[in-house]
Structure 1
């Protein structure tokens, strides 16, 4: 009996993520995955168990990759309000191909709804960690007086996080980028601290 062929598991997982990203979980066949990876089913599932486990690990890979991008963008900015703007900019799709595919996390949320606890756990981790980055920038802005303190940092982070997810869905629906950027600018403006003119008092 021949032994299963060895392969680069990290590369195969990345390739599977790309397939799931393009087709979704249910529309992806075993043949799609073996064709993309050039790895036989026996070998592929010897490492990843089954298609569902492959999908869950693909979500985790997508999450970590995107969180790393956000962390890098935030680190490039020193002002809290600019960090928030950088997060919003990073959330928008860079080209037409990315727009058509959308966000894998949001796609999974729409495909599964609330029916799969493990999938929803992966989605929840992405949202929680993104909002934690947003909240850190908001707290820094509140401390220096550039972001409103009328609401708590957690509430504002959830507000901005929901706005970002909404912008992603708007863009995938074909709404012009200019309109979506206007929505994001308005969202940022609403959480900035406005300085009252002394003559208004």
Structure 2
């Protein structure tokens, strides 16, 4: 008869997620996981499978957090564009809290795609959820006269999605949060039909 587990799986997954986030998949050895999680190799294998399976579960948990934030923070109350901007600020701030390591999802895509189908499947699903959420919010902005004439919610959504993914890479080069703020300011000025100049990046 198997012994009951004496640890919180969600807490262990959170710790594994932070370790993979800081170090990346390839650079994280099983010995690192044993030390960080406080579990023996046998316990890790029994509960989560091999390193790759643990990584995929940790990434899925990270993406679930992001998807939940989008689902709960975007609603039909108040001006649509300011609400969407506030949500993006929260998403970027949450990633910055991990020592400017970038976005765990974007890092994983850059490291493991196109050869890891498990990561690709998770990434495609999460990006589709984000694009749908952005499109719904921009549709509301269009209905309320907030969206620039001639810009469709679908096109604006793809613009935002590409911007946010790219910003996560750029912030690893230029960690000053003012850079991301300026990029978001310029993008939302375009979405609303206003024009603005973007300051040059620090060298």
Do the aligned residues in 2 keep the contact of 1:73 with 1:90 (CA within 8 Å)?
no
Moved over 6 A (4+): none
Change beyond 3 A, Cα 1:44–1:184: same
Note the aligned Cα RMSD (angstroms).
2.4
The TM-score normalised by the length of structure 2 is 0.85
| Structure number with larger C-alpha Rg | 1
Asked if 1:45 is matched to 2:64, the reply is no
- Secondary structure of the equivalent of 1:148? coil
Change beyond 3 A, Cα 1:175–1:30: closer
- Counterpart of 1:139? 139
- Counterpart of 2:31? 31
Q: What do residues 8-64 of structure 1 show as CA deviations (whole Å, max 9, x unaligned)?
A: 222211111111111111111111111111111111111211111101111110001
The TM-score normalised by the length of structure 1 is 0.85
Once structures 1 and 2 are overlaid, which stretch shifts more, 135-144 or 63-72?
A: 63-72
- Counterpart of 1:21? 21
Query: Where do 1:92-107 residues align within 5 Å?
Result: 92-93=92-93, 98-107=98-107
Shift of 1:113: 2.5
Distance in 1 (alpha carbons) for counterparts of 2:95 and 2:124: 26
Give the unaligned 5+ runs of structure 2.
Answer: 195-203
- Counterpart of 2:198? none
Asked if 1:81 is matched to 2:78, the reply is no
Do the aligned residues in 2 keep the contact of 1:4 with 1:43 (CA within 8 Å)?
no
Shift of 1:82: 1.1
Distance in 2 (alpha carbons) for counterparts of 1:16 and 1:41: 13
Do the aligned residues in 2 keep the contact of 1:20 with 1:28 (CA within 8 Å)?
yes
- Counterpart of 2:201? none
Change beyond 3 A, Cα 1:168–1:77: farther
